[in-house]
A and B are shown apart, each in its own frame.
Chain A
Amino acid sequence: MAVTHKLIQTITVGSGGSASIDFTSIPQTYTDLLVLYSARSARAAVGDDVYIRFNGLSTNLSSRTLYGTGSATASYSDASVAYIGYAVGDTSTASVFSNGNIYIPNYVGSTNKSVSGDVVSENNATGATQQFAAGLWSSTAAITQLTIYCLNGNFKQYSSASLYGIKNS
């Protein structure tokens, strides 16, 4: 039977919060990886950016982002980090979270690694956004570890992330 989405691990942040979520010793038996996450940052703002890095390295990363707020759209590039998502910030409506996914094809291959992400946030005021991001890790190494983290604050309690392996046979 084809295994299209196999849950590898899932984690929910505890009461102390967390600076990042790291999945290590990722099995090398799938073709693609998918991360589904729900996030809220401790940053005292409407939102916070979510970045990704691989194998514990912060080099050779870049990304491009398109986002809309409901009243405006914009895009920007990052030449040294991989912006890949968004977390609701701590001044947003209480107890709401952003919901996003991160897709990483061919993560065990020997070519550079692309990554894409989309996310929506929730806020009963201005400041809710929808975002699309495309990132690149210029490395031929297989991905054995991935880290997601908020740029300006810790993940708050009840933020969660699930890592899925995908293959078609």
Chain B
Amino acid sequence: MATKLVVDCSTGITTEVELTAEEVAQREADALAWALAEAEREAEAAAKAEAKASAVAKLAALGLTEGEVVALLA
């Protein structure tokens, strides 16, 4: 069972306490929420990179040089 350290600032006494079921559940919920948000961020970044690559390819097909494409996107 996971434990936490509790420091009572009024006494200076530190105790090691087992996490409650609610605290364990909260910990799992936080980790899940983070994983979902991270997956969303990664998907967004991948979509953005894909759109950029597509745009670069289309500009190149129009006859722009690599330097011109870079200058345009800067």
Q: Which residue of A lies closest to B45 (CB)?
A: A74
Taking CB atoms, residues of chain A closer than 8 Å to B19 are 19
Q: Which residues of B sit under 8 angstroms from A111, Cβ to Cβ? A: none
Report how far A16 CA is from B4 CA in the complex, Å. Answer: 10
Question: CB-nearest residue of chain A relative to B17?
Answer: A22
Cross-chain contact A18 with B4 (CB below 8 angstroms): yes
Q: Which residues of A contact B34 (CB under 8 A)?
A: 49, 81, 151-152
Query: Majority SS of interface residues in chain B?
Result: mixed
| Residues on the A chain within 8 Å of B73, using CB | none
- Contact yes or no, A24 B9, CB < 8 A: yes
Q: Assess whether B27 is in contact with A11, with CB atoms less than 8 Å apart.
A: no
Whether, in the assembled complex, A8 has its beta carbon less than 8 Å from a beta carbon of chain B, the answer is yes
B1-32 vs A, Cβ < 8 Å mask (1 yes, 0 no):
01111111111101010010001001100110
Question: Contact: A8 with B41, CB < 8 Å?
Answer: no
Which residue on chain A has the smallest CB distance to residue B2? Answer: A19
A24 to B8, CA, bound (A): 5
CA distance A111 to B64 in the complex (A): 56
Instruction: Check B37 against A24 for contact (C-beta < 8 Å).
Output: no
B33 close to A (CB within 8 Å): yes
Chain A residues with CB under 8 Å of chain B are: 8-9, 11, 13-14, 16, 18-27, 49, 51, 58, 76, 78, 80-81, 147, 149, 151-152, 154, 163
A22-B6, A163-B9 known; 13 other A-B pairs, CB under 8 Å? A9-B9, A9-B12, A13-B5, A19-B4, A21-B5, A21-B7, A24-B7, A26-B9, A51-B30, A58-B30, A76-B37, A81-B33, A149-B27
A sample of 18 cross-chain residue pairs with beta-carbon separation below 8 angstroms, ordered by A number, consists of A8-B9, A9-B9, A11-B5, A13-B5, A18-B4, A18-B16, A21-B4, A24-B7, A24-B8, A24-B9, A27-B9, A27-B10, A76-B41, A81-B34, A149-B4, A151-B31, A152-B31, A154-B2
